[in-house]
Structure 1
Amino acid sequence: MKSYDTKKAASQYRQLGLQGQVADASPHRLIQLLFEGVLQRLDAALAAGERKDIATTGEQLGRAIAIIEGLRDSLNLEAGEIAGQLDSLYEYCAIALLNANRNQNGDQIREVRQLVSVLKSGWDGIAPIENT
């Protein structure tokens, strides 16, 4: 059983306004794109935080949280234990980013960035299984 519902993942990515990349993407690539989107927004939030641009930091963190929630929504929780663990990890990341925004805490953003980076690295290492 798959851990992600790829239709939900594609829908989330389309909601982010990136339809062009979604049209030809495999289900595996869709999740990669979502991970990449989170990392890009976290990097932008960190850069804005260094400039003391609180509004942009909050905006970028909000976008990162939306993508994380999209990843979470796309999980197939009936797939087993791994999906449940990912759900908990995504929940932790979203809460940590909310707290990071409230407290203007770059360390919390970097922690979530590290977690997402590890997830992305693992996902990148999984060879897509083609449906025949």
Structure 2
Amino acid sequence: MYTSQGFAGGAGAYARVGAESGAMAASPHQLIAMLFDGAAAAIQMARLQMARRETAAKGKSISKAINIIDNGLKASLDPQAAGPDGAALVADLSALYDYINQRLLYANLRNDPGLLDEAGRLLENIASAWRAIAPTAAGRP
């Protein structure tokens, strides 16, 4: 009745609907956390594809991670919301996102899993700090 390919396509559609529903119900803080998770998943996928020598798929995964970082995480930085004391932090985060993207580009060009690891670690450091401020951002003690 169902083919394995049909099941995989259906499962993918179900996952997309779940992600879209989760995004619609998420707070702004949770949306940023979801971006971190998406970038980390794309980097992990690129690592596996690199090991399997799946060049085109690896390139797509790395491009996805870069897109999430540039058009999601970096684009969401708001110097006005940070205030005068936070403007330097926003500039530093922007520069760090640029550096992470550079590492990802070099990882792709050089087929270097170490550069993927470095980018993943840096991104996880920012993500863990972001998750740590969740109770404060939500106004909870």
Give the TM-score taking structure 1 as reference length: 0.82
Which one-letter code corresponds to 1:38 in the other structure? A
% identity of equivalent residues? 30
Aligned-partner SS, 2:25:
coil
Q: Distance in 2 between matches of 1:28 and 1:86?
A: 16
Structure of higher CA gyration radius: 2
Which one-letter code corresponds to 2:92 in the other structure? Q
Structure 2: tracts of 5 or more residues without a match: 1-15
The alpha-carbon deviation at position 117 of structure 1 amounts to 0.9
Q: Aligned ranges for residues 18-37 of structure 1 at < 5 Å?
A: 18-37=19-38
Paired residue total? 116
Does 2:108 correspond to 1:101?
yes
Q: Distance in 2 between matches of 1:20 and 1:102?
A: 36
Q: Aligned ranges for residues 50-69 of structure 1 at < 5 Å?
A: 50-69=51-70
Give the TM-score taking structure 2 as reference length: 0.77
Does 2:77 correspond to 1:71?
no
Contact 1:28 1:128 in 2 (8 A): no
The alpha-carbon deviation at position 128 of structure 1 amounts to 4.4
The alpha-carbon deviation at position 63 of structure 1 amounts to 0.1
The alpha-carbon deviation at position 77 of structure 1 amounts to 2.5
The alpha-carbon deviation at position 37 of structure 1 amounts to 0.3
Q: Distance in 1 between matches of 2:138 and 2:118?
A: 34
Structure 1: tracts of 5 or more residues without a match: 1-15
Which one-letter code corresponds to 1:88 in the other structure? A
The alpha-carbon deviation at position 61 of structure 1 amounts to 0.2
* CA root-mean-square deviation: 1.7
Q: Distance in 1 between matches of 2:136 and 2:102?
A: 30
* Larger helix proportion of the pair: 2
Relative contact order, higher structure (CA 8 A, sep 6+): 1
User: 1:129 is matched with which residue?
Assistant: 137
The alpha-carbon deviation at position 40 of structure 1 amounts to 0.3
From 117, 120, 126, the equivalent of 2:127 is: 120
User: 1:40 is matched with which residue?
Assistant: 41
